[in-house]
Amino acid sequence: MRTIFILSLLLAMSPAVSGSSAATAELYQSNCSVCHGDAGDGASHASQGLNPPPRDFTAPAYAQTSSRETIATFIRNGKPGTAMIAWQTVLSPQDIDELADYIVTKFVAPAQPKKTDLDKAFVLYQENCSVCHGDDGMGAVWGQESLASAPRNFRSEASRRELNRERMIAAVSFGRPGTPMPGFGTQLEPTQIGAVVDYVRKTFMADESTQAGEFAREDHFASGEYQSLPIPGELVGNPARGNAFYVANCVTCHGIEGDGDGPRAYFIFPRPRNFLDPATREILNRPRLFAGIKQGVIGKEMPAWGKVLNDQDIADITEYVYGMFIRPSE
């Protein structure tokens, strides 16, 4: 008798579950697909008249920068600066939660595979070292021309001959007296310092025949994984707020179009970053933008905004610059 009762209960529940799922799909079709499209890719008829265009939930980058909670928040409260309205006065809390689950399950790409240690070290190098040592480890051009002593060229025979792992860890930890090289011992964990050193040695200081592997510069910059890395600290930037700050504080140097042609640009050397330059678009992702805005750029007039802004403010600016200038099509 108990078995019959359980089977009867399960059969009775099945149509309700199926109906709920179908109801959520209908809810999406009735309220969301007109902008986000039937396939969740933002390719709707309405998208042609919207600026910025509706979110493409299927983009790999979106899986890196969003979550079920952020989707529910945007459905509930809307998104300033876009056509996304607040639905909390139209839909019930349960409807909003079920819609968020439906979008994640139906459209959002699966999470990327876990990054290797060298992938993480690559990000650390880009955020902390490349501004002086260059993306290719040969020393940034501005540093060679402007600093009292040129940054180390890791690809030189002298570096391969003189630098062992212990000496490099000491230099990264404590800096090099009499040179522009600062110490990072108070900013990075010992394991992070060791990882960055290993990355430099493997990527730049190995024999040329071994440098064409998976951690070569070109492979990283061309990869979707590098370009889709999220803002650090699991922060989600608000491009509308970032836009307001950019217009008020960044346009004078970087220009309203992001081309480095602002009113003050002609009095600044090196010139402000041109975000539209193909080389810049290749090397700048969200983590690197975030680091540059927060910490400033040594040898340039780019200030460290982290002294006056909190991380969320910086994330907002990062998302605006990335979405408007670096990857405007995403």
In a domain, 9, yes or no: no
Output Rg (C-alpha) for the chain, integer angstroms: 24
Q: Do 207 and 236 lie in a common domain?
A: no
From the CB of residue 255, how many other CB atoms can be counted at a distance below 10 Å?
20
Reduced to 3 states (helix: H, G, I; strand: E, B; else coil), residue 265 is helix
Q: Helix, strand, coil % (nearest 5) of the chain?
A: 55, 0, 45
pLDDT tens for the chain, 330 residues: list them.
444 443 343 334 333 333 467 889 999 999 999 999 999 988 888 878 888 888 888 887 777 667 888 899 999 999 888 889 999 999 999 999 999 999 988 888 665 544 557 678 888 888 888 888 887 888 877 777 778 888 999 999 899 888 999 899 999 999 998 888 999 989 888 889 999 999 899 888 875 443 434 344 444 554 566 788 899 888 999 999 999 999 999 999 999 999 999 999 888 877 788 898 877 887 788 998 998 899 887 667 888 899 999 999 999 999 999 999 999 876
Burial class for 302, CB neighbours closer than 10 Å (0-12, 13-18, 19+): buried
What is the residue whose two structure tokens read 């493997």?
202
In a domain, 14, yes or no: no
pLDDT the model gives residue 116: 58
- Identify whether the C-beta of residue 192 lies closer than 8 Å to the C-beta of residue 186: no
Q: Do 243 and 309 lie in a common domain?
A: yes
Domain boundary among 59, 80, 106: 106
Which structural domain, as residue segments, surrounds residue 182? 117-227
pLDDT the model gives residue 223: 53
pLDDT the model gives residue 52: 86
Query: d(Cα 202, Cα 20) in Å, to the nearest integer?
Result: 54
Q: Single out the residue of 44, 109, 39 nearest to residue 83, CA to CA.
A: 44
- Identify whether the C-beta of residue 22 lies closer than 8 Å to the C-beta of residue 106: no
Domain holding 101: CATH number?
A: 1.10.760.10
Reduced to 3 states (helix: H, G, I; strand: E, B; else coil), residue 180 is coil
Q: Do 131 and 222 lie in a common domain?
A: yes
Domain boundary among 179, 212, 227: 227
What is the residue whose two structure tokens read 């990283």?
220
Q: Do 87 and 32 lie in a common domain?
A: yes
What are the helix and strand counts (H, E) for the chain?
18, 0
In a domain, 31, yes or no: yes
- Identify whether the C-beta of residue 284 lies closer than 8 Å to the C-beta of residue 326: yes
Both tokens of residue 50?
């919207």
Query: d(Cα 154, Cα 3) in Å, to the nearest integer?
Result: 72
In a domain, 65, yes or no: yes
In a domain, 279, yes or no: yes
Both tokens of residue 312?
């969320």
Q: Do 204 and 139 lie in a common domain?
A: yes
Number of domains present in the structure of the chain: 3
pLDDT the model gives residue 76: 93
The residue type of 116 is: T
Q: Do 218 and 282 lie in a common domain?
A: no
Domain boundary among 207, 227, 247: 227
In a domain, 13, yes or no: no
The separation between the first and the last C-alpha atoms of the chain, rounded to the nearest angstrom, is: 58
Q: Single out the residue of 100, 107, 76 nearest to residue 24, CA to CA.
A: 100
What is the residue whose two structure tokens read 């024999």?
207
DSSP string, 92-105: -HHHHHHHHHHHHH
Q: Do 155 and 246 lie in a common domain?
A: no
Question: How far from 123 is each of 26, 199, 231, 318, CA to CA, in Å?
Answer: 42, 10, 11, 16
Query: d(Cα 180, Cα 94) in Å, to the nearest integer?
Result: 57
Q: Do 208 and 122 lie in a common domain?
A: yes
Hey, what's the torsion of the CAs at 54, 59, 62, 63, to 10 degrees?
140
| Total count of residues recorded for the chain | 330
Q: Do 39 and 83 lie in a common domain?
A: yes
pLDDT the model gives residue 115: 54
DSSP string, 20-34: HHHHHHHHHHHHTHH
In a domain, 112, yes or no: no
pLDDT the model gives residue 17: 34
Q: Do 35 and 81 lie in a common domain?
A: yes
Q: Do 220 and 251 lie in a common domain?
A: no
Query: d(Cα 317, Cα 254) in Å, to the nearest integer?
Result: 13
Question: What does residue 266 show for φ and ψ, rounded to 5 degrees?
Answer: -70, -10
In a domain, 5, yes or no: no
Q: Do 145 and 65 lie in a common domain?
A: no
